[in-house]
Structure 1
């Protein structure tokens, strides 16, 4: 499913859960739900969160700039060593050909996003932020390097998210943080990607087997219709729950 659909479903699922368990909802809890509904896709370089941090046109510009800079540096050091313009040009051309095959735009986006979380984690540590908050941020730095729809889309990931959020909740007195974060994170998997052709590896890393309850193709015509249907269904369910109360 697309990012905006995951976000909408995550918020609606959290609202419905709050009505069922009679937990007060606020703007903060809605924001938390929106963010955590998108977190599983951090393993995708072009995810919604990645695009919030780094716009595609900006990251592409930085990628080109980095390639040109490496090209210039290789040529500079090469000509310093052998003092032969033609040989240095050949070495530079060969080197940049190899580097471009390895240093892709998607790799650079992953690197930037990961370094952003690492830097944030270091800053939080330096200002004596609680350990579990720093640990959670550092965990997010690992997500971009995970196999897409691997660990981040498993029950194990949901459990980890709940444990860390529960500890942060106890330390910061942010009431029901673990509830909102876990419900919306799980909605990404159980009300979203599990209905796609690719499915999700629920028991990863114990098993790579992917489970699917549908045959939806992300971005496809039928998939778009089903996304709208699911959102409308959740809205009606919320209205029904409110009337029933």
Structure 2
């Protein structure tokens, strides 16, 4: 296999953002390790491009031994990962904090926080040793702007943003870049269906809107990676034009009490 291609690893590539990012990076000239839990979807993704350009790899982001063993468990010709796109993540439920299922909180933390830092820790030493690489993590505007029911999901995305900022600080003086991309309202993925557990409710989230789409996120990832080697894009916050921050909420029920 030709060694002219750079290697990118994209987590959560079975649908939505990760699927679009993997295809876009192949278009940009990368070989892509596409990971996720649904092997059949990864195989289908690999079948959309030239043979050998996508390596489908079943990987559960909550399987810590697998994440820690990743650098040496990859085929030798795929081990020098140049780009890590931390896309895998999820939200579960919109209940208020005292009503939520604690297992949902644990799952979000295990995937959005623990899995992300573990795979980053696994692949980062190779990038530092080669003095070349880029870590891109998908955050969310929920990490900046709170809303009812976001509780732990928003907190995990705030963690991602701060972790990446500190990572950039650690990497000062090395040619390894670190970027957070924080989208707002996004359609065209399984995000709301997974969160709400109902396709009808998921569709209602986007009724009357023109949300961001996975292709918009993939375009942004490609732009970030395509900057000159001396340019680090620290943070990208993006929303569709139908969305803006809502400002502070005020409870007026206490008037006259």
Per the normalisation by structure 1, the TM-score is: 0.31
Q: Give the greater-gyration-radius structure (CA).
A: 1
- The answer to which structure, 1 or 2, has the higher relative contact order (CA under 8 A, 6+ apart) is 1
Q: Which structure shows the bigger proportion of residues in helix conformation?
A: 1
